[in-house]
Structure 1
Amino acid sequence: MINLLFKNKKTIKAEKDQKELNNEIHRLSLEILRKDSFIKCKNDFFILKEKREKETLEWEKIENELKKYNIENLLLKKELSETMNILGIKNLEKKYLIKVDKLISEERFKKVIKLLKKNRVIYIQSLNKNLIETLIKDEKIKLEVLKRYKNFLNNIMSWDLKTTLIKGEKITKIYSKYRRFVNISNDESINYIADLSIDFIERLSCFGFQNSEIEEIKLIYIDYQKKHLIKL
């Protein structure tokens, strides 16, 4: 009877302990669930925040690119307008010599260009019908060169060729080793040698250029004009 009572007490205590343990497990489970929900919520928040920040950065990037393209577009429109005005003038006061390889730039004319250079024919303006017929033996190539040369004389040519004829080479090509000068010229809408002037070059000190640099840039300009400008 005493053993049974003792067992019952032990059983009651064990059951009580088990109940308390179960309650604690339940409490801890709820706490873990609550914290998991909080962590998930926080994590979702940070993911959303990060996503929005990335989207904001992307939109800012797109906006900056659009601004850049808009500025470039305005400059191109200005250049186009100026070029259209110039190309519309029939009686030009000056033109520039153009190298033959601009007229026949394709690979199939490579041998012809070498042959012409060998005979000291560097510029399109140095060509003539008799010279083409005498030097070029390949009939198909000869006919094509004659056709392009005739079109050139009749003012029928590509946009690039006509612009070079009227405005000379691009500043980026002539002054390829003078990156800072090219950038400043571009900012000032000076894209071709015809857009440039001694006056502008002499004012480069305002942009921080040394006298020696200005002199070098000036000499390149003078030399190009001397060798390539045709005064009509």
Structure 2
Amino acid sequence: MLSEWDYQAILLTLKLAVSATLILLIISPPLAWWLSHSKRFYRPFIEALVALPLVLPPTVLGFYLLLSFSPDSFLGGFWLTLTGHNLAFSFSGLLIASLIYSLPFVVQPLQSAFVNLDKSYLEVATTLGFNRIETFYRVIFPMVLPSFIIAGALGFAHTIGEFGVVLMIGGNIPGETQVLSIALFDHVETLQYTQAHFLAFSLLSFSMVLLMLIYGVLQKRQKRLYHA
């Protein structure tokens, strides 16, 4: 039913989603913590910049990223000098674009969790002599673990469903930059509806299951808070 290119698109999409999610779960917590506690005058600007992909059309973001990834630009030229490869129309370009595009879906759940964190636990950790790293891993992280799960799931799902940004950055190169959403679009364009139905139903089923898991985590968290 599916072609070799379809299976490669599935594997490439999973590789992209896993890579982006892992990186976002590393870089997002410090940013979310800063946004939830900083009183700097420029915090609203940073907050708006992080949230921009939520309201900006994907093709607009993809267009400006494509210009930034061009060999004639500073970033694209630096990457070409460093690696010998173009950043545009490459997996590396897709990954950077995915990090930017999915960033708010990971940062915002964590930021909300940090804002609502009971500060008394932090005070107890301070009196026990915990440093910042110990406080985070032994006190904060266990308390906001459900938010980390939700943030990771949202970032993963959002990366899998990308279309406009990845099309602008990576084009449609089978086996290299053709992700699942673009492969689905190709099948629809060429009237291959059997393959299109299979890919679309797979994405629909995955999204539904993932949302059920997210809402299940939220429900358990609400029950735990209610009985606390």
TM-score bin, normalised by smaller chain = under 0.3
Q: Which has the larger radius of gyration?
A: 1
What TM-score, normalized by structure 2, do the two folds share?
Answer: 0.25
Q: Taking CA–CA contacts closer than 8 Å with sequence separation of 6 or more, which of the two structures ends up with the larger relative contact order? A: 2
